[in-house]
Amino acid sequence: MPAVAGVAAGWLAFCLLVWAYGASPRDMAVLLAEGTWGTTYGAGQVLFKATPLLFTGLAVDLALRAGLFNIGAEGQLAVASLAAGVVGSRLPASTPFVIALPVTVAAAMAAGASWAAVPALLKGRLGAHEVISTIMMNRIAEGLVGLLVASGLGLTGTVRTPDVVPGARMPRLDAVFPAFRGSAASFAIVLAVIATALVMIAHQRSRFGRELGLIGLNPRAMAAEKVPVKRRLEQALIASGALAGAASLGTVLGYKGYFEEGLGAGAGFGGVAVALLGRGRFWGLVLAALLFGTLQQGGLALNAHVPKELMDVLQGVVICAVALADARLRDVVTSAVVRPIAKPATGAGGAGVT
């Protein structure tokens, strides 16, 4: 139900804004559909846009299970992308695929994890609210990445790193499926889906995953069970940062083949939207990533007629609508189950009434 409400509200906002801008909603919708799922190239571009979103969505979702908002996926991805670009280009040119790719991805994930470790430790050890500290870390990442690229890690006079070695590149989809020719989609999307499936299984089957979910539901009960709640929260945020860093598979290794300033920007915030819409389910996350990927690609297809920023507005509207519908649903459930117990009907006099 919430997903339907989200899509409906997004559609309504789309029509309203396009109309207010003076264009025809129907024409624009047709253009949007043609520019995304209408051609195999467009579909490939949607997959390409959805790849980092699925990784960051998975990352935000993991932290959300424990009740933490990781708004810092943006900065974690920026630092991780730089690490991927630097490590991937410093490897010997003849490094085989089976070594180069895992090493590069591991470096990216480690960088993302370490960037998330700062707010994680501030949260666990000092109790600093993770929302503000991750936002600050985003800004610091932006400055730091720019500084490092400008002073030594990048090619002189540019804002990009050298090319990564061929072995660290993620193969493009069009190498196997010629229909996607020209689009930037790579096999990173397959990895993203596999990673999502694995993490979802881990949430259900592993001890760590179960504990995280239960901490999100009731931290005090878990503390009473002698689960180290604070340490689990730290670990959740760090793991979330590592997953966000893996999104560089789609951008640095799958698309450009090098890191340049601003590559993958926006995927971190998009991940928050994906996680909120995906609601912790495998298909939810995959479909949400595809939806927002479609919106991003569709925004580019419309940009000549309507500003592509329209899609950012839609993203916000969809988040709001989903959250609203979700709260409605919860209210209905709560009032049916909890209210009669928590709050005796007026007039039900005396103690002992349950």
Partner 1 sequence: MSALDVIFSGTMLAQTVRMTVPYACASLGGVLSERSGVINIALEGILLSSALAAVAVQNATGSALSGLLAGVACGALVGLAHALLVVRGRVDAIVSGLAINLVAAGGTRFVLRALYGSSSNSPSVRNVEIAESWGLFARTVLDPFVLLTLAAAGLFAWGLRRTRFGLRLRACGEDPSAAQAVGVDVGLTRVLAVTIGGAICGLGGTALAFELHQFQAGMTGGRGFIALAAVIVAGWRPWPAVLACLAFAALDALQIVLQNQTRVPSQLFAVLPFVATLLALAAVSRRTSGRARAPAGIGKNPV
Residues lying near partner 1 in the complex (CB under 8 A): 17, 20-21, 69, 71, 118, 122, 126-129, 131-133, 135-137, 139-140, 142-144, 146-147, 150-151, 269, 272-273, 276, 307, 309-313, 315-317, 319-320, 323-324, 326-328, 330-331, 342-343
Q: How far is the CB of 322 from partner 1 (least distance, A)?
A: 9
Find, among 1, 12, 5, the residue nearest to 314 by Cα: 12
For partner 1, the closer CB: 151 or 156: 151
- Report, in Å, the least distance between residue 300 CB and partner 1: 14
Distance of alpha carbon 2 from the chain centroid? 19
Nearer to partner 1, 164 or 272 (CB): 272
- The least CB distance from residue 326 to partner 1, in Å, is 8
Residue 13 tokens, joined: 């906002």
How long a stretch of residues is the chain?
Answer: 354
Residue partners of 263: CB distance under 8 A and separation at least 6: 81, 251, 252, 255, 256
Q: Min. distance of Cβ 246 from partner 1 in angstroms? A: 22
CA nearest 72: which of 203, 247, 220, 199?
A: 247
**C-beta of residue 107 within 8 angstroms of C-beta of residue 153:** no
> Judged by CB, which is closer to partner 1: 47, or 273?
273
Closer Cβ to partner 1, 103 or 140, answer by number: 140
Nearest residue (CB) to partner 1, 18 versus 212:
18
State in angstroms the smallest separation of the CB of 64 from partner 1: 10
> What amino acid occupies position 53?
L
Report residue 53 as tokens: 């979103």
- Of 46 and 71, CB closest to partner 1: 71
> Hey, what amino acid is at 88?
G
3-class DSSP state for residue 346?
coil
The residue type of 265 is A
- Report the candidate in 273, 222, 204, 250 with the shortest Cα–Cα distance to residue 58: 273
Nearer to partner 1, 98 or 304 (CB): 304
Please, what is the minimum distance in Å from the beta carbon of residue 228 to partner 1?
19
The CA radius of gyration of the chain, in Å to the nearest whole number, is 22
CB of 118 to partner 1, least distance (A): 8
Cβ atoms of 36 and 185 within 8 Å: the answer is no
